[in-house]
Amino acid sequence: MRIDVRHELGDTERQAVYGLVAEVQRRTGHRPLSDHLWLDLVHGGRSWHAAVLAHDLDDTGGAGGELAAYCQLSDGTGSWAIELVLDPDLHTRASADAIHDLATGVLRTALDLVADAGGGHVHWWVVDPDERTDALAAAVGLAPGRTLLQMRVPLPLAGADAAPPADVALRSFEVGRDETAWLEVNNAAFAWHPEQGGWDLATLQLRERETWFDPQGFLVHERDGRLAAFCWTKLHHDTDPVLGEIYVIAVHPDFHGLGLGRALTVAGLASIAARGVHTGMLYVDRDNTAAVGLYTALGFRVHRSDRAYVGDVPARTSTSAPDATPEHR
């Protein structure tokens, strides 16, 4: 096995990564890279972006064999995002111990890159974590952190939940007009968030150019002459069933306590149902008990959980090692 680091992928490497991601998605029903890292891969990355690739060796001893593992990292707001994709057929040509050693080597290489770039907090997201991912995280010095719940609900909602309150006026996002005001709300609401916080106009415009972007499903609420809250939805036509996601929902801190979160959630789900989609979906932090309670009351149920393994990587010096220091919750 050979491990290589790339800050820019060649066309052949990029196509191999696309193929690996597509195959994992076909088998599992979900894309193994988050939207943030996927867009970094497709469009070249944010200010600091790198990839680690592991190939089987070919008959000549060169790295011309199958792409066995792909790891991507990006520097987010206050934390480095790391995601790892393994060939789903790897178990047919390697033992469990060999796969563990490979994944450990790839992750350690990624953490070395963080150390070389000055160190910092890291988070590695895993879908449906288990004892194997716990052991792998521990081997590279990471500890369990946040858990996200993916929750789903049948649409349309029934009874009194089916329509948003009449006194919460909504309109569709207007491209070319609303970006600055929306960024203010988003960055105030997610100032703490490593992926959703710290957005700039280029970050938003990147998503506006995606084929799934539909301003009709991007609802905003204005109050006192300001954009106060929003619910941005996204349809996943590549899943079975088709899913309508509440992609991002937020209320500016100045307007907390007015019930806008529930109103925008119901409105977003109604927008999804109106486009012929019968399953709503969202992600919520397991520790956000108020939000989990709200969504449960609306009929959402947990479909799966994702876990972030986290730690702090010291900057590389001539005498320091790049191992992560676990963060405990």
- Which CATH number does the domain housing residue 67 bear? 3.40.630.30
- pLDDT digits over 159-184, tens only? 767 777 778 999 999 999 999 999 99
User: Which pair of structure tokens corresponds to residue 66?
Assistant: 């199958």
- Rounded to 5 degrees, φ, ψ at 198 are 70, 25
Residue 292 contacts residue 96 (beta carbons within 8 Å): no
Domain that holds residue 19: 2-147+307-326
- Rounded to 5 degrees, φ, ψ at 197 are -85, 165
Task: Name the domain count of the chain.
Answer: 2
192 in the same domain as 137: no
203 in the same domain as 123: no
Among 33-47, 184-198, 206-220, 223-237, which is the least confidently predicted range?
A: 33-47
What would the mean pLDDT of 37-53 be, rounded to a whole number? 83
196 in the same domain as 87: no
User: Which pair of structure tokens corresponds to residue 37?
Assistant: 């890292």
Residue 43, number of CB atoms within 10 A of its CB: 13
Which residue, among 2, 117, 8, 107, has the nearest Cα to 63 in the 3D structure?
A: 2
Q: Which residues partner with 143 through β-bridges?
A: 310
In angstroms, rounded to a whole number, what is the distance separating the alpha carbons of residues 325 and 315?
12
271 in the same domain as 170: yes
pLDDT exceeds 80 at position 319: no
11 in the same domain as 122: yes
User: Could you say which DSSP state residue 274 is in?
Assistant: H
Whether the full predicted model's pTM is greater than 0.85, yes or no, is yes
Is 291 within a domain?
Answer: no
315 in the same domain as 216: no
